[in-house]
Amino acid sequence: MTWIDNYNRLKNQNSFYELKTFGVLRVSGEDADKVLQGQSTSDVKVLGAKTAQLSSLLNPQGKIISHHFLIKLDEACFYLLCSKSVIDEVKDHLEKHIIMEDADLEICKSFKTFHLKNTDPSSELISNMNIHQIEPEKLYVHDQHLLLTMGMLGLDSSILITKDGSQPDLGLEMDDETFKAFRMEAGFPIMDHDYDQKTLLPETGLQLHCVSYTKGCFTGQEIVARVKYRGNVNRYLSALIANEVPNDLQQNDTLSTIDGNKIGKYKSQTWSPELNKFILFVYLNKKFRQAEMQVKFIDSECTEFTGEVRTLPPVSHGNAIVLSKQAYHEALELFASSDEVSDIAAEPLLKKALYLDPSNQDAYEALGVLLSRHERFDEAIELMKRLKELNPDTVMAYTNLSVFYMKKGMIEEAEAEKQEGTLATFRIAAAKRKKRVNKSDFDEAANAERERRRKMFNEVLEIDPDDLAANFGLGKISLELKQAQKAIKYLEKCLEIKRDYSVCCTLLSRAYILENRQEEAKDLLVKGIAIAHEKGELMPKQEMEMLLQQLNEG
């Protein structure tokens, strides 16, 4: 029997997989919660008895020491389920921060852990543990067994820990490749396969599930917050879906286009029976990570392959999408009441909707607004930034971000989001009109569109001469019409308003070149390249480098 046969047989069956590469660290004592609260990215204090959460430990540079399940048995006992490859380091890290606290650490070497899928409520295990109703993110305890109702395989996923090292009857067993396929389809990265201790937490996307921005300080918080407020990371863990993949791919290989542009760093892959395609986990660079984008990359012999970019998880089951919509609409009814009791009930429904379907844009927006009602602006901002990643033309993401930043007194960031929202509106309107235009009428329609935008931008400038988007729009239109002097007027104004506008540097340099002002163009290109490099803006940087090379060679 092949592993694919094993996968197909177990897809809807009660099954298990022994987590041989995972271990359990016990943290006990009266001050166990204090020790964990000071180091964990999650808010340990919100955990009730017999509940759990995803959490991480970071070094001062914001890099991952461990990402794990943090389980609270009672006020004086916690368990960390993490990779065995780092468990000793996790123990050492926590021990360094125990000074006067009453806390003991022990690696539970006799424990065994099993990942369960499609657990049958009428199974022998559930019956023996006297569980009548299973709830998510709970810990059920009976004798030597701990059953955690959360896991790595998406819906209906749980983890069993046996303290005596026994293995009860758990159904059919998954092969290694079967478990890997289920895990990667569910979008759950793990240590050593998909990230390591050199990886920044915000590069993995795990911060969406394990970071509290209201709990107070923790090691590595400054780096996580800096990335959060200054923009997106240069690379981000995503999935590429492909019909074929290179045979010689090795972990940490750099994927590149045939032109030599770096796409990202490859980590792992599996064949997905659900998609009938390969899933590759890759840290994609900014230019290549928009959802549904088709990316072409080459192997060592320059053979070209094509992959479709997807956010994690790469597989959303149809029933999960339906359930997500149901949870969203239930939350929306509560949300409309605008009272605290209804909001408390709506929040877990919206989170459930996003868990079931991470591409549910309406749920992102609703949850962001709900959180902002209760001044949880950091969490709301993180959600809206994720929504922007999913769809850069979601105007409400920019609008909400502008409002949330304004509420926090971050005026510059609020204005920047407002301007980006204006540009997104223009892009959407242009895209809709473009669809209605026949190819034979393209030039005429393009000129009409330029004229319409020119009038609109001029109207904006009559109200506010310092509007960045309007000045940039008029400069771009003038440059497209080869009206260099007009373009220079508007684009120089843009740089007065925003000195680090790298895209504007590119256009203004082209306008200078049209006016035979090559030396000014060179000076601006040098400055613009430095700005783009500092901000991690790959596309304008490459364009300016190409222009500068052409000028120097000319």
Q: In the prediction, which pLDDT does 1 show?
A: 78
Half-sphere exposure of 483 (CA within 13 A, CB side): 11
Q: Find the helix packing angle between 502-514 and 538-553, rounded to 10°.
A: 30
pLDDT in tens, 119-146: 776 678 888 898 876 677 889 999 999 9
Of 366-370, 391-395, 538-542, give the lowest mean pLDDT range.
538-542
Last residue of a domain, one of 185, 213, 244: 185
53 & 166 share domain: yes
Last residue of a domain, one of 149, 164, 185: 185
**Is residue 125 helix, strand or coil?**
helix
Q: Where are the alpha helices (DSSP H) in 103-191?
A: 124-128, 176-185
Q: Any idea what DSSP says for residue 26?
A: E
Question: Is 31 within 8 Å of 97 (Cβ atoms)?
Answer: no
Q: Please name the residue that has the structure tokens 């006799």.
A: 110
Q: Any idea what DSSP says for residue 182?
A: H
174 & 240 share domain: no
Q: Is residue 197 in a domain?
A: no
304 vs 295: CA distance, rounded Å:
10
Q: Which amino acid is at 352?
A: K
311 & 360 share domain: no
Last residue of a domain, one of 400, 417, 436: 436
Average predicted confidence (pLDDT) for the chain: 90
447 & 303 share domain: no
104 & 243 share domain: no
Q: Is residue 386 in a domain?
A: yes
Dihedral over Cα of 139, 140, 146, 148: its sign: negative
Going by C-alpha positions, the residue among 168, 165, 184 that lies closest to residue 176 is 184
Residue 423: pLDDT over 90: no
449 & 425 share domain: no
Q: What percent of the chain has pLDDT over 70?
A: 95
Q: Is residue 196 in a domain?
A: no
Of 70-74, 226-230, 292-296, give the lowest mean pLDDT range.
226-230
419 vs 423: CA distance, rounded Å:
6
Dihedral over Cα of 191, 193, 194, 195: its sign: positive
Counted residue by residue, the chain has a size of 554
Question: Is 292 within 8 Å of 285 (Cβ atoms)?
Answer: no
349 & 497 share domain: no
Local confidence band at 442 (pLDDT 50, 70, 90 cut-offs): low
Split into its structural domains, the chain has a count of: 5
Q: In the prediction, which pLDDT does 162 show?
A: 97
- Domain with 311 in it: 234-315
| CATH number of the structural domain spanning residue 79 | 3.30.1360.120
503 & 427 share domain: no
**Is residue 193 helix, strand or coil?**
coil
421 & 452 share domain: no
Q: Any idea what DSSP says for residue 66?
A: E
| CATH number of the structural domain spanning residue 413 | 1.25.40
321 & 177 share domain: no
Q: Is residue 322 in a domain?
A: yes
140 & 155 share domain: yes
CA 396 to mean position of chain CA atoms: 19
Q: Is residue 500 in a domain?
A: yes
389 & 431 share domain: yes
User: Across the chain, how many H-helices and E-strands are there?
Assistant: 20, 17
Residue 206: pLDDT over 90: yes
116 vs 111: CA distance, rounded Å:
16
Q: Is residue 221 in a domain?
A: no
Q: Is residue 164 in a domain?
A: yes
The pTM for the full model equals 0.64
